[in-house]
Amino acid sequence: MIRALGIDVGAVRIGLALSDPLGMTAQPLDVIKRTTPERDLDAIRKAVRDNEVTVLVIGLPLNMDGSEGPAVEHARLFGKLLEPLGLPIEFVDERLSTVVAESVLLEADMRRDKRKQVRDKVAAAVILQAWLDRQGNPVKT
């Protein structure tokens, strides 16, 4: 059983998404307001424990041309912060994940203030679903 936690790392918020128990689909889970690295780690540790997570999937914010910029280094450093959890850490290209998340929320006719509250966890679900699809799962969302 794969239980993956998708992570969209931002400067202000961290979006979380969780795979279903079969590791086929991703659902938005939570948004963590960033404070300190220790508290960020504690919040993710709690999500890992509460949901029996077996793998962490972190979005890698590549530039549109596929090159790595400063944001990629921040994502990789965040991955290092999570190493004490003792779980495998995977990185997945997250280009346009926030754009896709915003589009989904607009289609759902969600108000702007509400979109801001959920955008990061929806982006995490987009990231996680891309990783799940790459694993060869037949279900697409």
**pLDDT tens-digit readout, 86-131:** 999 999 988 656 656 566 655 665 566 665 667 789 889 999 999 9
Q: Which pLDDT score is estimated for 141?
A: 37
Give how far the C-alpha of residue 22 lies from the chain's centroid of Cα atoms, to the nearest Å.
18
38 pLDDT tier (thresholds 50, 70, 90): very high
Q: Which pLDDT score is estimated for 6?
A: 97
Please give the structure tokens belonging to residue 47.
Answer: 């999500």
Fold of 4-134: Nucleotidyltransferase; domain 5 (3.30.420)
For the chain, the C-alpha Rg in angstroms (whole number) is 14
According to DSSP, the β-strands at 4-9 and 13-19 are antiparallel
Is the pTM above the cut of 0.85? no
- What ranges do the domains of the chain cover? 4-134
Rounded distance between C-alpha atoms, residue 17 and residue 45, angstroms: 14
